[in-house]
Amino acid sequence: DAGVIQSPRHEVTEMGQEVTLRCKPISGHNSLFWYRQTMMRGLELLIYFNNNVPIDDSGMPEDRFSAKMPNASFSTLKIQPSEPRDSAVYFCASSSNSGGYGYTFGSGTRLTVV
Amino acid sequence: AQSVTQLGSHVSVSEGALVLLRCNYSSSVPPYLFWYVQYPNQGLQLLLKYTTGATLVKGINGFEAEFKKSETSFHLTKPSAHMSDAAEYFCAVILNQAGTALIFGKGTTLSVSS
């Protein structure tokens, strides 16, 4: 199993540009989560999906952020337009339906907006 | 709603000394509890978890944690620290019910000196 795969690993973009982060969950996992990690705020849950349906997006900071999961093997997190304060490491994680198994995390995407 | 508090953002120990990382939670229903470790520039890796049953749980790399309901605590310990244990450690909680997601503490950075 290749684990949760995120791309790109690093992204540097200019303020105002659109950024798209990608995630491939573990096959058979039906829950997918997007987290953001910063020094100031730690790990914040942005949004999560169950069976490709968004369940809770209350953590999405602004309308500039959007996430989709068109099928069980792919999800995107888009920021448009990007701002310097969006600079962070964005993690994707997946799990089976039972939260008791814990989550498997990807290696993250380090986003820098200049 | 559930929450997690990690006491001490930074803990320093000598190699061979006891490691104790503190975690307290609040939850309206019995939670599932987790400890994750994050090495520099990597994703989060599951160390151990408590769901039901035995309150003392053992994880990878010699770590263990004890669920104490009366104290609402889930402290992480290791009898003898190794240099390779230097990392950031996160305590996390999830409710045992549908429609919830892992909530993380702010993290504790463990430093190990020789």
Taking only the tens place, the pLDDT of each residue in A100-113 is 678 899 999 999 99
- The confidence score (pLDDT) of residue B50 equals 93
The alpha carbon of residue A13 and the mean position of all alpha carbons in its chain are separated, in whole angstroms, by: 17
- The confidence score (pLDDT) of residue A62 equals 87
Taking only the tens place, the pLDDT of each residue in B81-91 is 999 999 999 99
Per-residue pLDDT band at B94 (split at 50, 70, 90): confident
- A99 contacts B94? CB cut-off 8 A: yes
**In the predicted model, is pLDDT for residue A99 greater than 60?**
no
- The confidence score (pLDDT) of residue B3 equals 87
Under 8 Å between Cβ of B55 and B74: no
Mean pLDDT of chain B: 92
Per-residue pLDDT band at A98 (split at 50, 70, 90): low
Residue of chain A whose alpha carbon sits nearest to that of B41: A107
In whole angstroms, what is the distance from residue B2 CA to residue B94 CA?
Answer: 7
Q: Are strands B108-113 and B87-95 parallel, antiparallel or unpaired?
A: antiparallel
- B46 contacts A45? CB cut-off 8 A: no
Nearest CB to A55 within list B34, B90, B99: B99
Is the model more confident about A99 or about A20?
A: A20
Q: How far is B81 from chain A (nearest CA, A)?
A: 25
Residues in a beta bridge with A74: A71
- B96 contacts A99? CB cut-off 8 A: yes
Taking only the tens place, the pLDDT of each residue in A1-59 is 679 999 999 999 999 999 999 999 999 998 999 999 998 889 999 999 999 999 989 99
Q: Which residues of B touch A108 (CB under 8 A)?
A: 42-43
Residues in a beta bridge with A33: A48, A93
**In the predicted model, is pLDDT for residue B106 greater than 90?**
yes
**In the predicted model, is pLDDT for residue B9 greater than 90?**
yes
